[in-house]
């Protein structure tokens, strides 16, 4: 998908029958636990040249120091644990109460946080601008048939922000939250959000229809408790990999069942531009003296 997308939300692409969920009292339920890992090899990060987008100086506070901004989608621990992976029982039709709190996504330092969120069809999602620059939210659901726009709207900036904020005096002031309703096409689960001004601002979401899910922590770990006795399909999904893994599980009373997943590391180029010292994409191409200093984070390819 090459169209400008929006940074912080979800997209649905996993076809499964949508059954209504029934809340029941779960007695002697089981627990699913495990770790999601990535096989050896570090994926090539997506690179974006700052001079091709607005606000290169401010957004360059997180950059390589040579004019490039990196979207590093994979947070991998020393033990290869993969963070930001959704683990979900896709066919749980009854169980513990399904209390859903709509997610809030922040545009902060020209990135959407968190990178992966959990959403629910026909429920709210809130996006708030914490930066002193303008952002534009473009949200898509995705599938093999291509993207469909869910919403596209400017993200208000707090009017009290100073436009000349420097690295020593920078503040994050919340703008008016943008509240949208997620309306997914039937059987889609994956949602992608991107900024129309800054393409390196990207966020993903996963739509759930039951409470048996978790997003893995920094070590790639997850725990899903109070699962009724039964046979299920457990799925793992990470937006950077572009595929899902599934395992059949049998949950017994009071059982703790360990189920691990391993994703293969994506290979080859993953963005339009490779991060190289190309004079056509140097700061001098702007026709004026510009200093882009990574005061917040110095990124390395």
Q: Which of 283, 280, 173, 205 is nearest to 7 (CA)?
A: 205
Contact between 243 and 152 under an 8 Å Cβ cutoff? The reply is no
Q: What is the pLDDT along the chain (301 residues), one digit of tens a residue?
A: 344 433 334 333 344 445 689 999 999 999 999 999 999 887 888 889 888 899 998 999 999 988 899 998 999 999 999 999 999 999 999 999 999 999 999 999 999 999 999 999 888 999 999 999 999 999 888 766 677 888 888 998 898 887 665 555 678 889 899 998 888 777 788 889 999 999 999 999 999 999 999 999 999 999 999 999 999 999 999 999 978 999 999 999 999 999 999 999 988 777 766 676 665 555 665 555 677 889 999 998 7
Its pTM stands at 0.86
Tokens 């939300």 belong to residue? 9
Contact between 243 and 106 under an 8 Å Cβ cutoff? The reply is no
Q: Domain limits of the chain?
A: 22-298
Contact between 109 and 71 under an 8 Å Cβ cutoff? The reply is no
Tokens of 67: 């004019």
Q: What is the CATH number of domain 22-298?
A: 2.60.40.420
Count of C-beta atoms within a 10 Å radius of residue 243 = 12
Tokens 């059982």 belong to residue? 255
CA atoms of 43 and 94, how far apart (whole Å): 38
CA atoms of 86 and 206, how far apart (whole Å): 7
């Amino acid at each position: 998908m090459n169209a400008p997308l929006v940074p912080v939300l979800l997209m649905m692409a996993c076809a499964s029958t949508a059954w209504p969920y029934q809340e029941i009292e779960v007695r002697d339920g089981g627990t699913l636990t495990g770790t999601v890992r990535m096989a050896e090899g570090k994926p090539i990060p997506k690179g974006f040249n700052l001079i091709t987008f607005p606000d290169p100086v401010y957004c360059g506070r997180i950059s390589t120091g040579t004019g490039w901004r990196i979207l590093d989608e994979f947070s991998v621990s020393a033990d290869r644990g993969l963070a930001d992976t959704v683990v979900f029982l896709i066919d749980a039709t009854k169980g513990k109460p399904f209390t859903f709190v709509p997610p809030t996504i922040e545009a902060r330092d020209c990135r959407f946080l968190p990178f992966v969120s959990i959403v629910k069809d026909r429920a709210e999602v809130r996006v708030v601008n914490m930066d002193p620059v303008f952002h534009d939210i473009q949200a898509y659901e995705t599938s093999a048939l291509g993207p469909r726009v869910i919403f596209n709207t400017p993200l208000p900036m707090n009017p009290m922000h100073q436009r000349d904020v420097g690295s020593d005096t920078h503040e994050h002031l919340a703008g008016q939250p943008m509240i949208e309703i997620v309306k997914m096409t039937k059987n889609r689960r994956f949602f992608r959000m991107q900024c129309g001004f800054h393409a390196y601002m990207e966020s993903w979401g996963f739509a759930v229809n039951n409470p048996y899910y978790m997003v893995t922590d920094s070590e790639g770990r997850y725990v899903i408790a109070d699962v009724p006795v039964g046979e299920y399909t457990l799925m793992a999904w990470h937006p950077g990999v572009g595929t899902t893994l599934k395992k059949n599980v049998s949950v017994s009373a009071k059982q703790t069942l360990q189920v691990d997943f391993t994703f293969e590391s994506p290979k080859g180029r993953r963005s339009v531009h490779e991060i190289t010292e190309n004079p056509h994409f140097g700061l001098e191409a702007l026709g004026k003296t510009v200093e882009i200093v990574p005061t917040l984070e110095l990124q390395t390819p």
